[in-house]
Amino acid sequence: MDEKFDCIVIGGGVAGLSAALTLARNNMKFLLIERGEFAGSKNVSGGVLWGSDLNKLVPNYWEEEDGGWERFINHRRLTFMDEQSTFSLDFKSKHFNEAPYSGVVVLRSKFDNWLSAKVQEAIDASDFAMDSFIATNIKVDEVLMENDKAVGIRTGEEEFHADSVIIAEGVNNLLTRQVGLQDKYVPADHMLTGIKEVIRFDQKVLEDRFQLNGLSGMSNEFVGWATDGVEGGGFLYTNRDTISLGLVLSIKDMREKKRSPHDLLNHFKTHPTIADAIRGGEIVEYSAHVVSSGDSRAMPKELYKDGILIAGEAANLLMNAGKAIQGMDYAMRSGILAAETIVKAKEQNDYSSAVLREYRAVLNDSYVMKDINNFQDAVHLLHTETMQSKVPNLICDFGRQFFTIKNEPTPKSEKMLLGAIKRHSSLWELIQLGFKARKSL
């Protein structure tokens, strides 16, 4: 292929596909390269796609008979866990029943493949129906640079040329490092490992067990005993007839404590609350993937340079401040913004960083960078020992006393709470925590 493209998109995950769909709709000639057999074949996510950007990308997506999503979330739960108990903040609302939903659960092999079909439809409807391509099973080995400007990519012996390259390669961002935008080694404490099992049930059993109605679904995050003293957290999301159950775990902490993701997931599954939730289910999928911790210090030095933009988790755009993991929605928004910047660059026939820096400006102005910056303290707070073990233990301790009825005189709740605080932490530590939480949340 000797022709030159307007843009080459590297990676057919959420960021790359969202960029490609935006390029196709703007009549751009592009090549999307994905190393997996099909888009989504190599991707892992818990995962809830939060927010309503999907509706912007694929209007009224929920009306499709078999859209790429599993269930919409109308029931949210945050659970503190000790060895025997769970104490949850539980919120369910009819308010979340209306489309566009506030979050939909997706299984990536299905969702990415569906989104990729949408990209193909948009290519077919564009002026470049015969000249834009989605190429799978191809790994990009190098971004070709001339005078520090991207001019294309190399895969094996073959080269493809383009005016611009969007790098959407995900968290293991080797090409972002090759073009000099990220340091060669990323500190281990900025990276986590996600591990997940998909467990199948009879659909009626699943719906009864989790009180699901029609396509409604539940998302549940866990802090505390779930990770057996290793920094991280757990999740459970309901799909159509399966659940996604997993953990995200600090790589550094696992190494230091000599624990493996597999052994910790088995530990999580022995908790009485989890054991009850998964009883009778059959494991049908098992996967693991690195995931960014959401620490903004892990972001590349810049997200653009001459002829290049970085989108999605390749730019470490992710946030997890305890309420939810937000990586896919950030990937989607940044992919769209990157593509829109390339469209403008084509209009001006200038793909230099002088034009492409606009991407950084619009991203900074979007909820993605605003939230990443505003909630950094909360991200760090979540990873402290107090939040990881002391708080879950004391909450469960208090809950056990509060809900126990003994046919004996019952102490006042304040006394129970102070007792629990004393056993697991101190009043002073909690005052400090409250102060930090007030500022960071």
Cα–Cα distance for residue pair 109/95, rounded to 1 Å: 29
User: Which class for 177: exposed (0-12), middle (13-18), buried (19 or more C-beta within 10 A)?
Assistant: middle
| Torsion of the alpha carbons at 20, 26, 31 and 32, rounded to the nearest 10 | 0
Query: Residue 384: how many CB atoms within 10 A of its CB?
Result: 14
User: What is the nearest approach in angstroms of ligand FAD to the Cβ of residue 193?
Assistant: 8
The gap from C-alpha 120 to its chain's centroid, in whole angstroms, comes to 24
Provide the 8-state DSSP code for 230: S
What is d(CA 32, CA 11) in angstroms, rounded to the nearest whole number?
7
Minimum gap (Å) between residue 428 Cβ and ligand FAD? 35
Contact 230, 253 (CB under 8 A): yes
Find, among 419, 183, 385, the residue nearest to 298 by Cα: 183
Nearer to ligand FAD, 135 or 418 (CB): 135
Cβ nearer to ligand FAD, comparing 300 with 399? 300
CB of 433 to ligand FAD, least distance (A): 26
Nearer to ligand FAD by Cβ, of 44 and 379: the residue is 44
Q: Which of 39, 36, 30 is nearest to 161 (CA)?
A: 30
Cα–Cα–Cα angle for 309, 312, 316, nearest 5°?
100
Tell me how far, at minimum, the Cβ of 230 lies from ligand FAD, in Å.
15
What would the two tokens of residue 410 be? 């019952």
* Residue 206 three-state SS: helix
Give the long-range contacts of residues 260-265, CB within 8 A, separation 24 or more. Answer: 261/193, 261/195, 261/288, 262/195, 264/195, 264/227, 264/228, 264/230, 264/232, 265/195, 265/197
- CB of residue 10 vs ligand FAD: minimum separation in angstroms? 5
Choice between 294 and 399, CB closer to ligand FAD: 294
**Bridging pattern class, strands 48-50 and 30-33:** unpaired
Asked if 62 and 379 count as a contact pair (C-beta separation under 8 A), the reply is no
Minimum Å distance from CB 13 to ligand FAD? 2
Q: Phi/psi of residue 410, each to 5°?
A: -95, 125
Task: Determine whether 6 is exposed, middle or buried from the number of CB atoms within 10 Å of its CB (0-12, 13-18, 19+).
Answer: buried
Q: Which is nearer to ligand FAD, 140 or 396 (CB)?
A: 140
Q: Which is nearer to ligand FAD, 139 or 262 (CB)?
A: 139
Task: Tell me how far, at minimum, the Cβ of 140 lies from ligand FAD, in Å.
Answer: 4
How far apart are CB 212 and ligand FAD at their closest, in Å?
18
Alpha carbon distances (Å) from 51 to 81, 111, 212 = 28, 16, 20
CA 9 to chain centre: 20
Which stretch of DSSP H or E encloses residue 168?
none
State which residue, 82 or 169, has the beta carbon closest to ligand FAD: 169
| Residue among 177 and 209 whose Cβ is closer to ligand FAD | 177
Closer to ligand FAD by Cβ: residue 173 or 393 = 173
- Least separation in angstroms between CB 438 and ligand FAD: 26
Binding interface with ligand FAD (CB under 6 A): 10-16, 33-36, 42-50, 139-140, 168-170, 175, 194, 196, 246, 248, 289, 291, 312-314, 318, 325-329, 331
Q: Tell me the residue length of the chain.
A: 441
In this complex, which beta carbon is closest to ligand FAD, that of residue 166 or of residue 381? 166
The H or E element spanning position 157 is none
CB of 262 to ligand FAD, least distance (A): 14
The least CB distance from residue 210 to ligand FAD, in Å, is 17
CB of 196 or CB of 271, closer to ligand FAD: 196
Q: What is the DSSP letter of 280?
A: T
Look at residue 199 and give its three-state secondary structure: strand
